[in-house]
Structure 1
């Protein structure tokens, strides 16, 4: 990912927050020289102090057959248009602000109890009330049967690349003017960017 200096994010806590808030990722691998991508929810966990991404794909999806080789996981964060009319200075051109995180690592297949625990953790995170409202969906035997059609994996993160393009290259007056627009927006992406922009109170 091309990241000009002002837009680079190195703070691991900010990176983890973006990933946690945007868990529907795109896993990209290369098979025989051809890129392949799968869209899937993933969780970021800590294992002995290391960031690890866990997820699963359908067994019918051939993507798991290239696990064991380097892959890229893409997390698209908040994003939105910027009109040149919003700036205090002129002239300017339209642009698009956005936050994105790339994770590089090697997916490893997990099986047995570890795979089952992964599936239960996904349910607990994304549907924490399910055990009370639909308990049969979380019974171990039911989940074990479902695991037969899935391939679970873990991907230790070898490198993060993170970018927050939020008008850091603009004069403060322009940046604050865009932030004010975002703060008053009904779009949750724009409000989320406002909270991340330099100069926030």
Structure 2
């Protein structure tokens, strides 16, 4: 990503928060047959040292990605949205796009069938926990294990990351407040999650 010092996000805890709140990721591999990209849910391993995620891919994606043979890029996209120069109120005419994005790098570890099944169960439990009547793989473990055979579990311990948090840091406070207000209420380009992230960051 373009290097702009004021937008660089180098705090691992903030990257973990980004993963935690935005668990739909893009996995990109440079393979012998060219670039391959897939999209899967990921879960942060909270107790791990550094940044580590677990996920799964559907067969035959593990072969297409040549998983375990080389480093992959995992892209996590947080809130983002268009910012009109008309919101600045300063005569500026150049639009932009605010966003929070992390590029994470690591070599996947292929999980055993048993650990993959545990991770799949944890994944379901993680997302079902807020439902009024949570579902679980335990409801029919035998059927769940049959379905799990069509997946390959992975763990990626990140060796490095490159992240950006571009949230109008180059604008005056009154302009930032106008951008936030439009992101909360504009009939064409409202992005409440982005507005909330801007309030959090600019309030730090």
Segment of structure 1 superposing worse, 151-160 or 168-177? 168-177
Q: Does 1:13 align with 2:17?
A: no
Distance in structure 2 (CA, Å) of the matches to 1:190 and 1:131: 27
TM-score of the aligned structures, taking structure 2 as reference length: 0.86
Deviation at 1:145, TM superposition (A): 1.1
SS in 1 for 2:93: coil
- 1:71 touches 1:107 (CA, 8 Å); kept in 2? yes
Task: Give 1:49 shift.
Answer: 2.1
Match in the other structure for 2:52: 52
Q: What does 1:155-194 correspond to in 2, within 5 Å?
A: 155-184=156-185, 187-194=191-198
CA distance in 2, matches of 1:16, 1:79: 18
Q: Give the secondary-structure state (helix, strand or coil) at the position aligned to 1:90.
A: coil
> Over the residues paired in the alignment, what is the CA RMSD in angstroms?
2.4
Counterparts in 2 of 1:33-72, with a 5 A limit?
34-61=34-61, 62-72=63-73
Query: Is 1:126 aligned to residue 130 of structure 2?
Result: no
Per-residue deviation, residues 100-119 of structure 1 (Å, max 9, x unmatched): 01110001110132111100
Question: Is the counterpart of residue 104 in structure 1 residue 105 in structure 2?
Answer: yes
The aligned residue for residue 141 of structure 2 is 140
Q: Deviation at 1:64?
A: 4.7
Q: Does 1:2 align with 2:6?
A: no
**Number of residue equivalences:** 200
State the alpha-carbon separation in 2 of the partners of residues 90 and 130 from structure 1.
48
Distance 2:132 2:80 in 1: 34
Secondary structure, aligned partner of 2:129 = coil
Partner residue of 2:91? 90
Runs of 5+ consecutive residues of structure 1 not aligned to the other structure: none
SS at match of 1:153: strand
Q: Is the 8 A contact 1:79 1:193 kept in 2?
A: no
**Larger mean Cα displacement after TM superposition, 133-142 or 22-31:** 133-142
TM-score by length of 1: 0.87
| Residues in 1 aligned to 2:137 and 2:158: alpha-carbon distance in whole angstroms | 34
- 1:131/1:138 contact within 8 Å kept: no
Output the CA distance in 2 between the equivalents of 1:133 and 1:165. Answer: 36
